[in-house]
């Protein structure tokens, strides 16, 4: 899969606030949360192989992120029903939000043209942002490989706590 996303947001910049629904239809607003750090990871699609690997790995490490007051938020398209099915089928407890109109993905610069097997289409790129408590971007992981990514991000955030 080729990555053609143009990163709009850079380290040191303020991340866009957003308000999106979870699998139960509950609305979550980034600016109203109170944590020391946030991991916002964008993923292509619920219930696909790579996205399932990534979600499961963040899910396994959720308690470790919580210990350092870091909230993990996964965002992709779909709706509450697709999120509920994805969470139910994989016993996921992490917060997954639906960006069905792609507004947040576009604001973060992670929704755009992709190419797979010679076909071009619009979709979410696998990109992760780490934010501090002021919603300032600390680092951006672009062109993420799903396997091992959650542990990599956890190690980075733990390093920020020192």
- Residues designated as active site: 51
Strands (E), the chain: 2-3, 19-21, 27-29, 37-42, 70-76, 95-98, 111-116, 119-124, 127-132, 137-141
17 close to 48: Cβ distance less than 8 angstroms: no
127 close to 142: Cβ distance less than 8 angstroms: yes
Short-list 44, 76, 47, 72, CA closest to 143:
44
| Residues present in the chain in total | 162
Short-list 35, 34, 46, 17, CA closest to 108:
17
Supply the Cα-derived Rg of the chain in whole angstroms: 15
30 close to 160: Cβ distance less than 8 angstroms: no
């Amino acid at each position: 899969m080729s990555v053609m996303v143009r990163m709009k947001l850079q380290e040191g910049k303020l991340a866009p606030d957003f308000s999106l629904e979870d699998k139960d239809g509950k609305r979550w607003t980034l600016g109203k949360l109170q944590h020391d750090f946030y991991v916002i990871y964008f993923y292509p699609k619920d219930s696909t192989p790579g996205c399932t690997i990534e979600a499961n790995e963040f899910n396994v490490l959720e308690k470790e992120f919580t210990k350092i007051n870091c909230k993990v938020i996964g965002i992709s398209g779909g709706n509450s029903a697709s999120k509920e099915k994805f969470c139910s089928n994989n016993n996921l407890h992490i917060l997954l939000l639906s960006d069905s109109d792609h507004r947040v993905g576009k604001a973060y610069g992670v929704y755009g043209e992709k190419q797979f097997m010679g076909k071009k289409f619009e979709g979410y790129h696998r990109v992760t942002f780490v934010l501090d408590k002021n919603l300032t971007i600390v680092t951006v992981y672009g062109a993420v490989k799903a396997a091992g990514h959650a542990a990599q991000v956890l190690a980075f955030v733990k390093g920020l706590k020192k």
